[in-house]
Every structure is written in structure tokens, then in C-alpha cells.
Amino acid sequence: MMSASQFEYGREMLMSFVKGSRLEYSKIKVDWRDCRLIGICCIPFLLMVLISGASWGQQDEDSVLLRVDFRDGSTLEASFPDTNLVWRNIAKDGTVGEKKVRIRDVKKISLVQEPSTSRVSKIRKLLSQLGSEDYHDRINAQLELAKTGKEFEEIISRYQPEDEETKWRIEKVKEILAEETGPAVGESTFDVLEIKGGEKPLDGELSELTFPVQYGNRLLKIGRSNVATISIEPLQTNFSVENSSGGGKRVQDYPDANGALPAGMHFEGFEMTPEGKKISANMDVSRAFVGKGLLLETSFKDSYVGALNYTFSGGRGGDFSIANVEPTYQGTITIKFCVPGSPLFAAGTRYIGFNVSHVNPEGTYFEAYNAQGQMMTRFSTDQLGTDYLGFQSEVPIAKVVVRPNPDIDEDFAIDDLFFEKPFALLESGNPEFFSIVTRKGERLQAETIDVDGQSMILKGLSFGADQLEIDIEDVWVAIPPGKNSAERKTDASPVTGFCLFMDGSISLVDFSLKKKVRLGSDLDLSQVVALWGLDQQLTAPPSVPVSKGSALLYGNDQFYDLANVGLGVDWLNSPSIDSLSKLALEGDPDASAQGIDLKGVVYSNSPCVYLRRPKEIGPSSGVVYTVGSERYFFGQETGASIKINQSGIRLVRGELAVDLNWSEIRSLRFPGK
């Protein structure tokens, strides 16, 4: 039995054939009384098309497999019929020419959301409105031309009005446009076509696609409203897959302090774009460094991150630093990472540091977040004037938020930015949709997911498709929508905290009962790698071994030795605790450098304490991260497994099992890659 999608595909292909053939079907006059004869003649051809469509799950000689990147960050590979595309060349004076391009010859097509011919029509309409009898229409047309007319400056300059007022308005528009710099760096106002073997990319406009493309057993309608690019580029598969057990540490020295930048480290002084364009005052740099993998955002919706003429004292020099433009130097700045040159694809780094100025101690905060949106660290400036804020982490840093403390210091600027080259983040999600990453590197986003046997069914996809079906074996990562996350109500009693175990898992622990809260299993101290409080973070492990029976406590950007450590009622037992607190309270600068105040510390607010160094967890293991900051590994290497269902997953380890709803899960990565 032929499916509805196969029939629809056959119908569409038949119409595409007719439209693309030398016979122009729009000019054929058909007497519908002769349809019976036409139908009989067409049956063999139609059957051939339908049969080929039914087997289109496999690529054949008449289809082309292309990558489709959607505007919302979704990406997939689909089969395109090898037909002709109509490409329109738009001259600066607005004239349009057409050429046909075979799909098999396409290297890449980048699409803008609004067709250039549509924008040309708007410009011509505005020019005609300059002569309107309505005064407000004339004023509005002049203002709109000055605002949007830069890309069609030649059309405006060639316009020859008859009356003096319109001539005067045209001259005013031309004066304003002469001082404009054009589109923002890295952006294009036309579609761009790259042909295999072509000399250079062509600016113009792609006509609307009149055929569906094939994904699995589904036909998809795509167009410029949801598609950013179509290309032969391979899917992103070089994600960093690392089951790191470590956190991070603050860094207060430049990474090139020894005179040379480490391999893979970048420096950005905000004087020139990656394309070689000089930075100018008040220039919008929000996306100017996409080529290096940097995206910049401000908390003010009506403003942008711009280059300002402010040189730091004690910095690396240069004319410009970056800050919010209006109100100047105020608000929060977010530094995000993307795959260099691809702003739609989230990336991370393992090092970032920069100067902030002019600041006060505790006046500006540095916050780092991982791919799951969890805060990794938070610290503040401790210098007056210029201060270097740096952070190094084994866990990828997805974004950094620089936030002023309004009670102390409301403004700041950023300069001298160091960062390791960003790499693609596998486990970055979407607040509105389930995010699914396939093993071949496709990223799909859906409102809901269902499980039917060995298939995962995605419904309400972000780019407009109603439904897609994927074999569960092909799913690599599943990330529930962030908006539905239900923060786990952790017991805030003094006897609860987190533990990292030798198997890499992170669990909430009730130290009074010596049990894991979620699984209910007994706490085996010999398997505990580190412990820390509910409002603290797991830091990077120490570089030296931990002596048996001892521990290393992290505080004040260093590790302190704890001797003869054991679990107490409220916190750890160790004779070192009192001596370290005493040193910190004596007031001697030399002595306080060796001590740390541990008065009032309990399990729930404990700094990170390592009892032993962690072992490496193979990247082939699966892992589930919970909203409550827990982590569990599964797969052959771990002895644990999961079962997926419509509501979430069941994690099974021996005789113990725990059910996790999707609202409790930040991300789920399957083993095997």
C-alpha cells in the first residue's frame, strides 16, 4: 500500500517535471473531456515517479544529499531532487536578470529572510511617496529611505524627481546615506550563491523552492522563512565529548605572562575585525567577531555592545574597549561562544579571561555557565581601576555574564580578551523545545517527543514540520526544554551536600543518614572523590595526589591540607580545621595567607574538599544530568542502564532504580560514540 507521503511526493515530482520541462504547462490548454486519454498516457510515467518516490529513503542518482541549516539552529541532511533553481541577479540600480542553476552544482546558498526584489519594490514605493500630497507621507518616506536605503543607494541617486521639494528631500537622504557604513560586519542583505568551481560568491536572490525535500520517510517543505543555508558542507560531528569530573579555577594572570600565547589561545583587543576591518567608535560589535567564535549581548533591548573610545590604565593599550552603548558602560554583558563562522551553533571554551575597568572591589561580578545553563562559578573584582577576571575549566564554558553590583559600581568596560578556540557544544538546548542530536550530527527541535517501540517520534518541529520519526539507535543526545525544568527541592538542612564518586556520578547526600538522597543507597566513603555544599561548586581537582586519610580543601584560590579526615555530625572531623581557622583570625598577613576561616562551616555550605583524585570516565559512556545538579553515567562500562519512555527515563543500577521525568532532566547523552 502506498503511503500518503509517497503519493504526495509523486504528485509534487510530476508537477515539478512538467514545470521544469521544455513544455510550459501554464500555456497548455487542456480540454478536460480528454483527461481520460491524458491519464492513460501518463499512467506509466506516474507509476515510475511514485515507485522512485517510495524508495527515496535511499539516495538515488537523481537526488542530491544536502545539509540544511535552519534559522533557529536546527540542522539536518535531506535529499533534493536534482532540478533547476532560478537565481536572480540584482544590479545596484535595481535591474534583475535570471539564470538557472542545477542543484547538483550548488556548493552553498545563504538566504536572507526578506527577498531583495521585495526590498527594491519598497525603495521604489518610498521614492514615489516623496511626492505625495500628504505631508506626513513625504516626511515618513524621507526618514525611512535614510534609515534603510544604504544597500540601494544607486537607485536613490538615479531617481530624478520633477518638483523642487522632492529634489531637496532626495539630497538630504543622499547626505545621510553617504555617511552610513552599510550592513553590520559579517551580514549580507542579499542571498549568496556559491557554485562548485565558481570563481566567487554571487549576490542575488533565489526564487522560492517549488518542491519538497525528503528526510527519512517524510517530505518537508522548506523556504527562506525558516532556512538560513543549504550546502554541501558536512554536518558538525567534532563535538567535545568529555565526561570530566573536574570543575574550574579562577585565573588572575595573563595566559601569555611568560611571553608567548599557549597553543590554541586567542587574544582580542577590539581594534580590528577578523576580516581585517578597522573598528570605529560606537560600532556595533555584537556579531563582529563571529569569525573567531564570539557573540556579545547586552541586557538593554534597545541598545547594543559597541566599541567605545576608552583606554584602560594598566591594560594592553589600544584605542577601543567594549561596553553597552546606551546607557553608556551600564547593564550586563553576556559573552557567548559559537562555532567560528557559524553563529547558529553553540560552542564552548576551556579558558576565558579579560580586563574590566574602571571598577571597584566587589563592584563587578564574573559568572560562568556550562552547556546545561548551570552556573559554574561566580566571583567579583578585587582591584580598584583595572582588574583581570579569568577562569579555566575542564567542563566547557558556554557563556560568561559580566554583571555590575549596583550598590557599589554601576558601570564597566571590557578589553584585552583571551580565550581558547571555541569548540562545538553537544549538549546545548532550547528553552522552548526538546533538542535532539543524532549520531550523524543533525540537530532537531520539537515541542514533544514520543517513543513507539524502537522509534522516537518528534512532533511540532521548530522549523514547521508536523512530525518526524527517528530510530532510537540514531539518537545521540536528548535535551528537554528549559522552560519546563522543575528545580529539584533539595533539602536545605545542614547535613546535606553533594558528592562526586569514583564512577563519575554526582549525587545529593544526606550525611546524617549516610545515604544518597535520590537512590537511597548507602554512602561508601571509600568511593567518595569530593564533597561540597549546596551553594558551592565542584572545583578542578588538585594536581598532586591526596594522601591516604587526608584531604585537600579549596578556598582563596588554593588548596589547604586537612589531616586525619573523617565524617563528623555537622561536617568533617580534622585537627587541621581549628589550626587553619586560628591562622586566618590572627591578623598576621603572612599567617593569614596560610589559613582560612572555617568557622560555621557545615555540609550544606562546605567548600569543595577532595578526598582523592578522580579517575577518567570514558567518553563512550552515556550520561544524564539532572536539574538538581546531579549526574549519573550508564552503559556497559558503568554497570547501569536506562529505559526511555514518554514521561522520561528509568535509571537502573543493579537492584536500585530511579525514575526521572523530563522536567527533572537537563540533558541525556546516549553511550556508544
Same domain assignment for residues 361 and 479:
no
Same domain assignment for residues 221 and 252:
no
The answer to whether 666 touches 526, Cβ cutoff 8 Å, is: no
Q: What is the CATH number of the domain that holds 254?
A: 2.60.120
Same domain assignment for residues 400 and 265:
yes
Same domain assignment for residues 214 and 71:
yes
Instruction: Dig out the grid coordinates for 339 from the structure.
Output: 562555532
Residue 283 lies in a domain: yes
Q: Which of 54, 76, 93 is the last residue of a domain?
A: 54
Residue 9 lies in a domain: yes
**pLDDT value at residue 628:** 84
Same domain assignment for residues 440 and 519:
no
Same domain assignment for residues 202 and 351:
no
Same domain assignment for residues 199 and 174:
no
Same domain assignment for residues 280 and 338:
yes
Same domain assignment for residues 462 and 590:
no
pLDDT digits (tens, 9 = 90+) for 628-645: 889 999 988 888 898 888
Residue 532 lies in a domain: yes
Distance, CA of 570 to CA of 625 (rounded, Å)? 28
Residue 596 lies in a domain: yes
Q: What is the dihedral of CA 33, 9, 100, 106, to 10 degrees?
A: -170
- 325-343 b/e (C-beta count within 10 Å ≥ 16 → b): beeebbbbbbbbbbbbebb
Give me the residues of the chain with pLDDT under 70, please: 1-61, 91-94, 117, 180-188, 238-247, 483-492, 587-593, 673
Residue 453 lies in a domain: yes
* pTM for the structure as a whole: 0.69
Residue 142 lies in a domain: yes
Distance, CA of 531 to CA of 500 (rounded, Å)? 6
Enclosing H/E stretch for 388: strand 385-397
Residues in the chain: 673
Enclosing H/E stretch for 335: strand 333-339
The answer to whether 357 touches 387, Cβ cutoff 8 Å, is: yes
**How many domains does the structure of the chain reveal?**
6
Q: Which of 136, 153, 178 is the last residue of a domain?
A: 178
Distance, CA of 37 to CA of 597 (rounded, Å)? 95
Enclosing H/E stretch for 172: helix 164-178
Q: What is the domain extent for residue 161?
A: 116-178
Same domain assignment for residues 129 and 100:
no
pLDDT digits (tens, 9 = 90+) for 214-231: 998 899 999 888 898 999
Residue 236 lies in a domain: no
Q: Which of 424, 456, 473 is the last residue of a domain?
A: 424
**pLDDT value at residue 179:** 75
Same domain assignment for residues 340 and 469:
no
Distance, CA of 632 to CA of 623 (rounded, Å)? 6
CA 646 to chain centre: 26
Residue 638 lies in a domain: no
Same domain assignment for residues 320 and 371:
yes
pLDDT digits (tens, 9 = 90+) for 366-422: 999 888 777 888 899 999 999 999 999 888 899 999 999 999 999 999 999 999 999
